Amino acid sequence: MIYHQEEKPKQVDNKRIASIDLGLNNLATVTFNQAGLIPFLINGRPLKSINHFFNKKKAELQAIIKNKTSKRLQNLCTKRNFKVDDYLHKASRYLINKLVKLNIGTLVIGKNEGWKQELNIGSQNNQNFTQIPHTRFIGQLTYKAELAGISVIITEESYTSKSSFLDQDVLPKYKKGEKYSFSGNRIKRGLYKSAEGILINADVNGSLNILKNCNP
- Whether 116 maps to a domain, the answer reads yes
Confidence of residue 107 (pLDDT cuts 50, 70, 90): very high
- Whether 155 maps to a domain, the answer reads yes
Domain that holds residue 192: 13-46+91-214
Contacts made by residues 97-102, CB under 8 angstroms, sequence distance 24+: 98/30, 98/40, 99/18, 99/30, 99/145, 99/148, 99/150, 100/148, 100/150, 102/16, 102/18, 102/32, 102/34, 102/37
- Whether 190 maps to a domain, the answer reads yes
- Whether 132 maps to a domain, the answer reads yes
Cα distances (angstroms) measured from residue 142 to each of 75, 167, 190, 209, 212? 30, 31, 27, 20, 20
Looking up residue 161, the CATH number of its domain turns out to be 3.30.420.140
Cα separation, 29 vs 206, whole angstroms: 9
Q: 0.75 exceeded by the pTM?
A: yes
- Whether 75 maps to a domain, the answer reads no
Confidence of residue 117 (pLDDT cuts 50, 70, 90): very low
The single-letter DSSP state of residue 190 is T
Fill in the amino acid letter for 27.
L
Cα separation, 86 vs 65, whole angstroms: 29
On average, the pLDDT of the chain sits at 87
Confidence of residue 76 (pLDDT cuts 50, 70, 90): very high
Do the bridges between strand 151-155 and strand 26-32 make them parallel or antiparallel, or are there none, so unpaired?
unpaired
Q: 31-45, 53-67, 104-118: lowest mean pLDDT where?
A: 104-118
Count of domains observed in the chain: 1
| Helix, strand, coil % in the chain, rounded to nearest 5 | 40, 20, 40
The answer to whether residues 184 and 193 touch, using CB atoms and an 8 Å cutoff, is yes
- Whether 123 maps to a domain, the answer reads yes
pLDDT by residue (tens digit) across 43-73? Answer: 999 999 999 999 999 889 888 887 777 889 9
Burial class from Cβ neighbours inside 10 Å (0-12, 13-18, 19+) for residue 83 reads: middle
Cα separation, 48 vs 86, whole angstroms: 14
- Whether 153 maps to a domain, the answer reads yes
- Whether 54 maps to a domain, the answer reads no
What pLDDT does residue 129 have? 64
Q: Which residues of 11-33 are buried (b: 16+ CB within 10 A; e: fewer)?
A: ebeeebbbbbbbbbebbbbbbbb
pLDDT by residue (tens digit) across 163-205? Answer: 999 999 988 887 777 888 899 999 988 899 999 999 999 999 9
Residues 6+ apart with CB under 8 A from 92: 137, 140, 141, 144
